[in-house]
Structure formats: C-alpha cells, structure tokens
Chain A
Amino acid sequence: MTAPATISSEPQPAIAVRNIVKRYGSFEAVKGVSFSVAEGEIFGLLGPNGAGKSTLIRMMTTLVPITSGTAVVAGHDVAKDSDAVRRMIGVIPQALTSDPDLTVEENLSIYAKLYSVPKAEREKNILEVLEAVDLVKWRGAQTKTLSGGMRRRLEIARGLVHNPSIFFLDEPTTGLDPVSRIAVWEMLDNLRKTRNLTMLITTHYMEEADKLCDRIAIVDHGTLVALGTPIELKHSVPGANVVEVHFDRETNQWQERLEGLDGVTSVQAESAGFYRVLTSSGSRTTMQLVELAAQLGETLTSLSVQNTSLDDVFVHYTGRQLRDEQVKPAAFTMPPRPGAQP
C-alpha cells in the first residue's frame, strides 16, 4: 500500500516537485517523484543509502540536471531559472566542504562574496550566523582545528550567510556523535523559528526525521512510497503497538500461531525464534502470548511492547528495515563520492 504522493493544495509552496525523474544511462535513480513543501515547513526525505534522496536534493539545488518532470523552488523553475533558485537557497552538502586551511570567518566571508552579499551587510550577516550556530568565539580558528560537530555547524552557518529562504540539508548529522547530533537538531529547530526558514532534510536516521520534521516522505528505490506527518505515517500502519518476542527455539508454527492472536495485523520473522508483531492492543497480545507459550511449554527469552515507530512505518511500506546493512543490493549503485561521510 502506497500513501498518496500528491501536490499540496496550499498556495505557492516553497518547493513543488512534479513527477521528477533522473536517469543515468539505463538506470533510473529517481522515478517520477512528486511532493510539495509549504513555507516554513521542515520536510524530511527518509530512506536508506542509495534510495535516491541525495539525487533528489541535488536536482532541486541545481547540482544535477533533471531528466524529466519539474521542480519549482521559491517560485523559480530549477531547470529554466537555476540562477534565481541558487540565490534563494542555502545548501549543506553531505560532505564537510568548508576549507580546512581557512578560518571560520574566512570561509563564511568567501561564501558571502560568492553570493554577492553587499560589503555593508557581510560583516553583520557573518556575526549573526556565527551567533546562531554558537561559533562566535571560534571565528578566528582554522577550520581544521574544529571538532566534527563544530565543522558541521560551520557548514550550516555557511549555508545561511546570504539569508536564504529555503535551506537544503543533505544528511546534516551523518558522522556526528549523539550529543552533537542533538545539538544540531536543536539548532535547526531554533533557526526555523527565528528565520522562518523552509527546510528540506535528507536523513536515514528515523529518530532525526521524527524529532525535526513536520512532514516526511519515505523514498525507496527512487520512488516515493509514503508521505505525511510522522503521526499520520504511524497511524497509517495497521496496529498501534509493536510486540517483540523471542522464543528460545524456533518452530515452523510460530508465525501462524502469532497471526491467529487477537488484534494482530502482521507478523514479521526477524531471525530464528524472534518475531515483531504489529497489534492494535499491545497489552492484550502480550497476555495471550504468555498464555500460549505456557500452554505449549515453550520458554520466552524476551518480550517487549513499543508504540509504532517510523521504522515500522518503513517496514510496512517497503517490506524491509531502514538499516543500511539490510538494504538489498540495487541493480546499480552510485559510486561513493570521495570525501563523503560514511
């Protein structure tokens, strides 16, 4: 079941993508994706590596030519008026691309000049963005002396130095430790509020998408498979809870028996004796499970009940986990860019 991928009916969306396609030879990296992002919204593109997220963001930011379809960003057609688009957007690429030999301030100054920020405003803008990302006291430090989290904050500052109205962030927290990641989330949320920014973020961290994004599009194999708010997406999955159960031994009847319990909407075998059960009533299913195991004389190694997560949403729509190691090998894989964060 695929959630409807429709163009928003809101007037003048900040980003409107219609049936966008990207082909590399015979390989179709993006297959007719459509969505729109409202002004001031944080929109997440969620998907595993190789799903087409970066290609989508690169098409919207004029970095990669669109094969077919249209993308309108800040009221300008990306293919026809790319220069106008570039003036309106800030882009944070996946890799850390600020010059390590230059100081924080020099990096920002160079980019302010590249965006033709008038000299009178340049100093003010640089100071403002440095304050926004909490790097004022590091303004004179060479970029190579900064930590990974600070360098990511510098990248964000660099993307804001010309006061864009739309901000594209390609996996902004990849490679960061959990503390730095949370700091970046807080900073982005704060920036959205103070600068009324529209943000489009690609990520493969479900927690990040859940915490930051107003709406999420799940992309897999170049196709948009689901679109909605995190709550809508979770509700779109049958079953309000997930029961994870581990039996001490595997029998071929477990799947059938679990599917027969009250309220159960789907059962997934994760590994030998380990099942994820989607159910409308976690407590009832748990009790029935314990009783069933007792009747059969089987031992439960572990049992847990959780609310439905985006992980479950992804599993529901794509039939697989949103973990890199479980991504099926695609027919064509884009070679990794040297210097890109793993």
Chain B
Amino acid sequence: MSRMFAIVEREMRKFFRSPTLMIMSLMMPLMQLVIMGNAFGGKIVGARVGVVDYDHGPEAVKLREAFDSIAVNIKTFSTVDYQDEKQVREDVRTGKIDGAVIIPAQYSRRVYSQDAPVIGFVTDNSDQFTSGSLEAEMQLVVTALTTPAIQPRLASSIALQIVELYPYVNYMKFLLPATIALAMYISVMIGGGMLYIDDKARGVHEGYLVTPITKLELVMGMNMAGAIKAALAGVSLTVIGSLMAGLGVIFHPEALAELFCLIVVTSIAFNGMMFLLMVRVDDPLVPRAMFGVLNTLLFYPSGAMYPIAAFPRWLQAIAIVDPFTYCIHGFKAILLKDGGFEAIQFDLLFLFVFGIGTLLIATPLFKRTL
C-alpha cells in the first residue's frame, strides 16, 4: 500500500508544483460558464420593428401605444415608421430592421365590427431566436388587445395554469452542471491522458517498473491520483461556479455532502474511462488528438446543452452509456432542483459501476513490462 501512496504522492506533488496547469485546467470551463452563460439564454433588447400604418384609426393608435409601452418598459423593440410596405419588407430582408408590422386599411373598422381583423408581421426567420422573441411579444400585445375589458362571469375557455417548481433558472445556472463536468473531464484528460502518456514517453514509468511495485499498486496509485485531481477540479468549479451563478445550494450541508459524493464517483468514472482508453497508448500525440473528439462525443450527447429526448435514437444510445449524462443529471438534480439523495442515487450507482468496471477491464491490459 505504501508503494501505491508513493505514486499518489509523486503525482500530487507534481500537480501542486504546476499552478499554471492547475489554473488553466479550471480556466476553460469557467470561461465557458461566463461567456456562454451570458451569451445564451438572454432576452432580446433593442430590436427595431418597422410599422406601416394604412389604417390610422383608433385601434391602430391603440396598437402603436402598446408598442411604445414595450419600447420604454421591457425594451424588447422600438418602432420605426414606414410609409411603404415594399420598403419595409426590403429593410427586413437586408437586416436594417428586425421585423415589420403591417396595419392594413380598415383595421379599426373590422375590429369594431368583429370582422376577423388581421395585422401582418414580417419576420426574419433566419434568426429563430430574435424572430421567436418578437413573435412572442407581438402575440402578447394582440392577446392583451383582444381581451375584453370586462371579464365574463363564467369563463368558457380552458385555461392552463403553470406552476413553476423552482425559482427562475437563468442560462448561467443551467450551464453550471455541464461546466463542472467539463472541468473534471479536462482535469482527467490532462492528468490521466496527456501527462500519463508523457511520463511513459519520458521513461518515468520505466523507473517505476524496475521497482518491486506490483501492477495493481501501480494502476491504483495512478488512478487514485487522477481521481483526486479530478475531484479537486470538481470541488473548485462547484464552489466558484455556484458563487458566480448565484446558487446558494452549496451552503446547505446535505446538498454539499451529495455534491461531494457525486464529484467523487464522477472522478472515478472519468478517470477509469480515460485509463482504459490510454492503457496501451504510447504516442504522446494520441491523447492530444483525442481531446476534441472525446469532448464532442461525450459532452454534447449528455443532455448538457439540449434535452436527450430531442436526440435521434443513435445519439440517445450514446447518451445511455455516456458517464457525462449521469454526472450532469446528478449536478442538475442537486444544484438546480435540490432533489436530495433520492434524485441522484441512480447516477451515483451508474458512475461508480462504470468507474470500477473500466478499471477492472484496464488493469489486465496494463503491461508490467516495456
């Protein structure tokens, strides 16, 4: 056992002697959290919508007052007056404005006579996010204008009442579980992949192999060191990321214990997987070449960014065996939902079995000789 801990000691000393490496392995996920968290999931502000008013009646004025209200309050868009429908369409097409509302002639009369009044909305649907936001805002305006001022005593239409279980989850919070998983993956990729192969190529392993250390002690020592490094990355990112995203769950001891368990089993799973992939590799370029491929293969099918239910079947099959899936599910369950141990027990079981399983396969493949 002391020989195993000698390997761990060497790896940890080396790790703490390279603060640049430590910081850089945390920097990429943190940058991703900050940049993607702010870049995605935000609300559209300051879009420009052209208005062509062929009606000029009281209902058209009400519509324009509603637009002005949006422009000064939630600021989703402001309006620009146009005289010509053809010109406004051209300006949407060329990107000068983001959409256009056409108020047809006789609009007010048709509203009063309840003769199926229509207003047109020209939208640039090449940008689905902006067009979707503007459409939603327009729909709200139209709904508000058509709602009778005096509500009937007996409602005839069916209403859907939405109950949100959790406080508003902004994109940075949503992204945090994926960021923690990514930080741990990068730590394993560097520590268990690149440095492992570099050490092998530099002859460090040759130095180990001439000592009486057993194969199991060597494998366990290297993997324990790798798992500790990944766990340190996981703990650091969980704390820093939660503070940045404004999640107070890390101050709850029970959630903290759950997070720690999840970080530990994730570290074992990621490290076991990496060791299995690298156990027979000698070329230092291989882990570097694999970095991006593995990242795409494991990260995106995991449900980190998009729901797994939206994937085609073959991608869902990858998600089922992907340890990222369970890691991210677990972090979401604790950080975003405070779901308790029950919500993560299957994730913990899968990750633990996956980690031990990959180690059991990799150990016989590890060569005790050159």
Contact = CB atoms under 8 A, between A and B. Distances in A.
Contacts of A65: 369
A338 B204 CA distance: 11
Interface stretch (B7-15, B178-186, B337-345): B7-15
Contact of A83 (B206, B208, B212): B212
Given A58-B370, A102-B13, A113-B9, A340 B211 contact: no
Most buried by A among B17, B201, B208: B17
Given A111-B211, A114-B213, A63 B206 contact: yes
B110 interface: no
B124 to A, nearest CB: 55
B238 to A, nearest CB: 27
Prevailing SS type, chain A contact patch: loop
A62 B18 contact: no
**Could you say which interface size class chain B belongs to?**
20 to 34
A91 B206 CA distance: 10
A158 B204 CA distance: 13
Contact of A113 (B6, B204, B214, B370): B6
B47 interface: no
The binding surface of chain B is classed by DSSP as helix
B358 to A, nearest CB: 25
Interface string B1-44: 01101110110011001100000000000000000000000000
B96 interface: no
Contact of B204 (A99, A106, A116): A99
B202 interface: yes
B6 A93 contact: no
A269 to B, nearest CB: 41
A62 B202 CA distance: 19
A53 to B, nearest CB: 15
A338 B283 CA distance: 9
Interface in B208-230: 208-214
Contacts of A337: 201, 203
Contacts of A192: none
Contact of A116 (B203, B210, B212, B284): B212
A106 B22 CA distance: 21
Interface string A82-112: 0100110101011111110110001000110
Contacts of B13: 101-102, 106
A62 B18 CA distance: 33
Nearest to B221: A114
B14 A99 contact: yes
Contacts of B7: 114
Interface residues on A, range: 20 to 34
A118 to B, nearest CB: 10
Given A102-B14, A110-B6, A339 B203 contact: yes
Most chain A CB within 10 A, of B10, B207, B214, B370, is at B207
A64 interface: yes
Contacts of B14: 99, 101-102
Given A102-B13, A113-B2, A338-B284, A61 B210 contact: yes
Contact of B369 (A63, A96, A101, A340): A63
B32 to A, nearest CB: 28
B212 A93 contact: no
Q: Which among B203, B206, B210, B212 has the greatest number of chain A C-beta atoms within 10 A?
A: B210
Contact of A63 (B17, B210, B212): B210
B7 to A, nearest CB: 8
Interface string A301-339: 000000000000000000000000000000000000111
B212 to A, nearest CB: 4
A102 B369 contact: no
A341 to B, nearest CB: 10
Contacts of A113: 2-3, 5-6, 9
The 9 tightest CB contacts between A and B, nearest first, are A113-B6, A95-B203, A338-B201, A339-B202, A91-B210, A114-B211, A97-B203, A101-B17, A97-B207
Given A101-B13, A114-B7, A158-B207, 17 more contacts: A62-B209, A83-B212, A83-B214, A86-B212, A93-B206, A94-B203, A95-B206, A97-B202, A97-B203, A101-B17, A102-B10, A110-B6, A116-B3, A337-B201, A339-B201, A339-B202, A339-B203
Interface of A: 58, 61-65, 83, 86-87, 89, 91, 93-99, 101-102, 106, 110-111, 113-116, 142, 158, 337-340
Interface of B: 2-3, 5-7, 9-10, 13-14, 17-18, 201-204, 206-214, 284, 369-370
22 contacts: A62-B210, A62-B369, A63-B209, A63-B369, A91-B210, A93-B203, A93-B206, A97-B202, A97-B206, A99-B10, A101-B18, A102-B13, A102-B17, A106-B13, A113-B2, A113-B6, A114-B6, A114-B7, A115-B211, A142-B17, A337-B201, A339-B203
